């Protein structure tokens, strides 16, 4: 019958459409589940800077006797061109504070021979704590703390590395250490690496750590370094 043929034709079209719709829905469900599984998967964490894992050894000295632990191993200067040192007379155990010899260089290695207390000129009940060392056979002293009454303060942990920085930061490439040891700066260096090479910088116009411009005295050879994302991007002579 014509009616039956017409009905069968419409039924086939309907079933075909239904199959397409069902297939599309099945595909969408599979896609949704796959997408949900992807969201549930733990996302890989951004690799942290290896510098963050460096934990320098601390002295934790609380009096003159414990401060003498500084004489048991070499130390390295943390903040170059910041620490003024003076002539020291070992026989008289006296520091000539009137004669500034210079400032200690970045990562300068020292063998501390003694730690002494010495009265501060024109100050009552106040003494300086000084680390005594030798350079070219001459004695020198650098202030590393103070005593006021019975209050003993030592800044050795802030002033010195008690371990070789080359070992502490051995994850830095050899070429990077070659530049640092030569007190040279190159593009790509981090703020920390630049400070190891040419000392402490002062900020120009603010900015966050790693994204700012710093002026470096650099032992009389001033430089201006601009950082972006903790990488030196511009290096120029300062004034």
Query: Per residue in 114-137, pLDDT tens?
Result: 999 998 777 778 899 999 999 999
What pLDDT was estimated at residue 206?
A: 81
Below-50 pLDDT ranges, the chain:
1-3, 7, 10-11, 13-24, 26-31, 33-34, 36-47
What pLDDT was estimated at residue 121?
A: 75
What pLDDT was estimated at residue 192?
A: 97
What pLDDT was estimated at residue 123?
A: 76
What pLDDT was estimated at residue 8?
A: 52
What pLDDT was estimated at residue 150?
A: 82
What pLDDT was estimated at residue 4?
A: 53
What pLDDT was estimated at residue 6?
A: 57
User: For 121-180, what is the HEC assignment?
Assistant: CCCCCEEEEEEEEEECCEEEEEEEEEEECCEEEECHHHHEECCCHHHHCCCCCHHHHHHH
Q: 187, exposed or middle or buried, with CB in 10 Å at 0-12, 13-18, 19+?
A: exposed
């Amino acid at each position: 019958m014509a009616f039956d043929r017409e009905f069968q034709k419409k039924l086939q079209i309907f079933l075909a459409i239904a199959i397409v719709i069902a297939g599309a829905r099945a595909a969408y469900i599979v896609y949704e589940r796959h997408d949900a599984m992807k969201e549930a998967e733990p996302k890989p964490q951004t690799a942290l800077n290896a510098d963050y894992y460096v934990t320098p050894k601390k002295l934790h000295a609380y009096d003159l006797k414990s401060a003498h632990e500084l004489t048991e191993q070499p130390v390295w200067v943390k903040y170059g061109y910041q620490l003024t040192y003076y002539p020291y007379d070992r026989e008289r155990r006296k520091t000539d504070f009137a004669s500034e010899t210079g400032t200690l260089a970045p990562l300068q290695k020292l063998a501390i021979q003694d730690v002494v207390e010495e009265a501060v000129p024109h100050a009552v009940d106040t003494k300086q704590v000084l680390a005594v060392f030798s350079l070219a056979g001459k004695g020198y002293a650098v202030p590393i703390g103070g005593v006021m009454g019975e209050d003993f303060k030592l800044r050795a942990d802030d002033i010195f590395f008690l371990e070789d920085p080359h070992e502490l930061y051995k994850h830095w490439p050899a070429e990077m250490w070659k530049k640092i040891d030569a007190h040279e700066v190159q593009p790509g260096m981090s703020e920390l690496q630049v400070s190891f090479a040419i000392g402490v910088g002062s900020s120009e116009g603010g900015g966050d750590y790693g994204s700012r411009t710093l002026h470096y005295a650099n032992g009389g050879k001033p430089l201006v370094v601009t950082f972006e994302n903790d990488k030196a991007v511009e290096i120029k002579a300062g004034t």
